[in-house]
Structure 1
């Protein structure tokens, strides 16, 4: 029902999962992640335990191949499932059960893997991976979205489109970016719009949030307010409309 990309940015160590499907709210079912630990995508006949327990095992330092073997060995339904994962060092592995609905399969490369089932054909994964690898100088989020878009153009989920998600973790236990289109006629395009909206304010605020190393975060918000106001003024002056659907804010 799904195809996804699980990746580690070699320059930053950031982890990400991008996923799309002809299934409602795929972003609530497939991605599991923890900054500095790893990322797991569980799909096909989804087992949330693959994600939950897979992250625990990654946190224990177990190798991705070992984790797949442990999770599938205890599961009588494993042949209907699919998963791929990566650890904080870039080691990765993937599994596609023999009973996953055609076309189903996976590809593994350096610090990135793609996997899918119920796809139009192997070209979906091939184009997703090729596009990701061709954009290594682009921002991580844009690389992932463009890769998924290429997979969609190659046929995507053979049943059609409904939902998509992009989740990126840096080195914290919370996401730096987590955007979803749960029920949409063109969910990947909706993710592009949401990513544009995030750049207007959200991602700048995200830089101020407390971290384990700095539990205070940015205390004086005037600095970030000034930056956001400057970007907003620049956008208005250039004649660009906001990507957001938000109603205007009228200060009282």
Structure 2
């Protein structure tokens, strides 16, 4: 039903998520980040508490340990899918056996991708390849969105795409980029438009004036 990527920018330490689905408002429940902790995307039969728990458990645990401890609290873990990246870039993933095919995930150092109800395994394979190809060549947010577009071009969600979201969270308690398209005929096009507005012109100047208090939780 959803395909997502989570990553840690090795240059800045920021965490990022990009996600898309056929249904509305994917940005409301799937992407979760926390400054100094990590990022998690929770999907399939979405349980936001899995992400809340995993990010809390990253205090003193690595991504895999936090993921497994969070899953242990969920009696319906077989219906869930989640990917996590921790504060130093270690990744972990879970695809429950009851997720609708094609469902799967891929993990590398600093990045993880996952999806369910997809056109096929090439969706997440192309997402990962696109991320690795773009990394360091364009800004972090554009790298994440490029990976999401690659998955969509390979077939994405078999039902199509109705909503999408992108988040980048650095040292501050608030996210640097937190944009979403809750319902659209072309959500990825609209998401790109929002990113362009946020990163250029007077809007970028406004965001640059926001107060900074790194490390505040």
Aligned to 1:98: 97
- Displacement after TM superposition at 1:201 (Å): 2.6
- Displacement after TM superposition at 1:203 (Å): 2.7
2:37 is aligned with 1:37: yes
Aligned to 1:200: 201
Larger radius of gyration: 1
In the alignment, is the contact (CA less than 8 A) between 2:172 and 2:215 conserved in 1? no
- Displacement after TM superposition at 1:200 (Å): 2.2
**5 Å matches for 1:139-158?**
139-158=139-158
Paired residue secondary structure (1:33): strand
Distance 2:215 2:23 in 1: 39
> What whole-Å deviation, never above 9, does each CA across 1:195-225 have from its counterpart, x for those lacking one?
111122333222221122599xxxxxxxxxx
Superposition TM-score, scaled by structure 2 size:
0.95
Distance 2:205 2:33 in 1: 22
Task: Quickly say closer, same or farther: Cα 1:72–1:172, change in 2 above 3 A.
Answer: same
**5 Å matches for 1:78-227?**
78-136=77-135, 137-198=137-198, 199-213=200-214
Superposition TM-score, scaled by structure 1 size:
0.82
Distance 2:191 2:102 in 1: 25
Paired residue secondary structure (2:176): strand
Paired residue secondary structure (2:213): coil
Paired residue secondary structure (1:175): coil
Aligned residues: 214
Structure 1 segments unaligned to the other structure (5+ residues): 216-252
Distance 1:190 1:167 in 2: 15
Task: Quickly say closer, same or farther: Cα 1:10–1:61, change in 2 above 3 A.
Answer: same
In the alignment, is the contact (CA less than 8 A) between 1:34 and 1:172 conserved in 2? no
Distance 2:144 2:106 in 1: 15
Distance 2:35 2:209 in 1: 17
The structure with higher relative contact order (CA 8 Å, sep 6+) is 2
Structure 2 segments unaligned to the other structure (5+ residues): none
- Displacement after TM superposition at 1:95 (Å): 0.4
Task: Quickly say closer, same or farther: Cα 1:195–1:181, change in 2 above 3 A.
Answer: same
In the alignment, is the contact (CA less than 8 A) between 1:37 and 1:55 conserved in 2? yes
> What whole-Å deviation, never above 9, does each CA across 1:8-62 have from its counterpart, x for those lacking one?
111111110000000110000101111221101110001111111111111x221
